[in-house]
Amino acid sequence: MNIIQDIREIYQYRQLLGSLVARHLKERYRGSVLGFLWTLMSPLLLMLVYSLVFSVYVRIEMQNYAIFLFCGLLPWLWFAQSLTEGTNSIVMGGSLVTKSMFPARVLPTVCVIAAGFNYLVSLPILAVFLIVAGIHVHPITWVVVPIVILIQFILTEGLVLMASALNVFYRDIQHLLNNLITLWFFVTPILYPVKMVPEKYQWILVANPMSSLIGVYQDVLFNGQMPDWLALGKVGIIAVAILAAGFWVFDRHKDRFAEIL
């Protein structure tokens, strides 16, 4: 099947991916004093801002709201960062794409992996919060979190491949996407628990694969309960379908990247 070949090709370039991801991470904080610490600082500050707004101004009655928020915010940041950076990656690829035999699909993948790396290193902070607050995570966490991470990676990769390829032809995509991500953030239950969503808008949660993924984090880490396996299974299938679609769109367009850029 095509998708397996595509995955194999990415695997083939793992060394290249490795150097580019390292490069990408180093580049981001070059010249800053705190450097890599920003990877941890940014989500913390964001969490502070949102906690301030939603527990002081707009009051959401919930114990440990900041930690609840953090559970959903971290995976969301991985998703959002991958998408914004990844969409531009081909266009920004310059002569690597236009004048060398560079495997173009590596570029968006680098963005997803680099953002994922940031996510992984910020997980220990979440762990510290959970321990300090005395929240008992469900033992299934050790099994579920890797699965969720994998599914999120597949989903994000699929979307980024699609968006980055189309963005070469229609630069509107990147602008559209930036606004769409903001909207997407607010319709995903990150700042508020699922039960606060009015009945008539529940369909948005069903249609939004990110809400199921984030819901799983919140269930196992914050609520200490079993995840919604059915929802997770559905998202898994959707993610694979989106990845296949992403490869399909990308492969259809990649031959003309060099010509158009």
Partner 1 sequence: MNVIRIENVSKTYRRRYQRGEYGTLKTAVANLFRSSDRHPSDKTSLMALKNISFDVKRGQFMGIIGKNGSGKSTLLKILAGVLKPDNGRIEVQGRVAALLELGAGFHPDFTGRENIFINGSIFGLTRQQIKEKFDEIVDFAELSEFIDSPVRTYSSGMYMRLAFSVATHVDADILLIDEVLAVGDGAFVRKCEDRMRKFKEQNKTIILVTHDMGAVERWCDDAVLLIDGNMICKDKALRAIERYVRQTGLLPEGVAPEDLTRLQQTMGFKAKPGDQCVRLAWVNPPLKDYMATKIVRRTDRYPIHHEDGTPVYWFNGTECVDGSLTNGQPYYYGIFAHDKQYQYLPPVLAEATPLPEAELIRLTTTEKLTADTTVSVTQIKIDSIQMVNGKDTPTTLFTTGERMNIQIPYSLDLSRPSKATVTLRILRDDGFCVYETDTHAEAVEIPSTATQGILNFEMKSLPLLSGDYFLEIQSADDPADIPDQPVSRYSFSVKSSALEKGIIRPDHQWKLEIERPGSTPRTSSSQE
Chain contacts with partner 1 (rule: CB under 8 A): 12-13, 15-16, 18-20, 23, 27, 94-96, 98-103, 169-172, 255-256, 258-260
Of the candidates 176, 155, 133, 128, the residue with the CA atom closest to the CA atom of residue 234? 155
- Closest to partner 1 by CB, 61 or 259: 259
Q: Is 125 exposed, middle or buried (0-12, 13-18, 19+ CB in 10 A)?
A: middle
- Those residues whose C-beta lies under 8 Å from the C-beta of residue 115, and which sit 6 or more positions away, are 77, 78, 81, 82, 85
- Closest approach, Cβ 20 to partner 1, in A, equals 7
- Rounded Cα distance between 114 and 104, Å, is 16
DSSP state of 199: G
Given the complex with partner 1, which of 106 and 145 has the nearer CB atom? 106
Cβ proximity of 82 and 111 under 8 Å: yes
CB-nearer residue toward partner 1: 126 or 166 = 166
- Rounded alpha-carbon distances, angstroms, from residue 168 to 6, 67, 101, 177: 20, 39, 18, 14
Query: CB-wise, 58 or 101, nearer to partner 1?
Result: 101
Cβ 236 to partner 1 shortest distance, Å: 31
Phi-psi region of 199 (alpha: psi -120 to 50; beta: other; left: phi over 0): alpha
How far is Cα 212 from Cα 189, in angstroms, rounded to an integer? Answer: 9
Are 250 and 105 contacting, i.e. CB atoms less than 8 angstroms apart?
yes
How far, CA to CA in Å, does 35 sit from each of 25, 32, 38, 75, 234?
10, 5, 6, 21, 39
Minimum CB separation of residue 249 from partner 1 in Å reads 14
Q: What is the DSSP letter of 91?
A: G
Residue closer to partner 1 by CB (options 69, 97) is 97
Q: Give the nearest distance from C-beta 5 to partner 1 in angstroms.
A: 16
CA distance 227 to 219: 6
C-beta closer to partner 1: residue 170 or 201: 170
Please identify, using beta-carbon distances, which residue of 20 and 130 lies nearer to partner 1. 20
Closest CB 106 distance from partner 1, rounded Å? 9
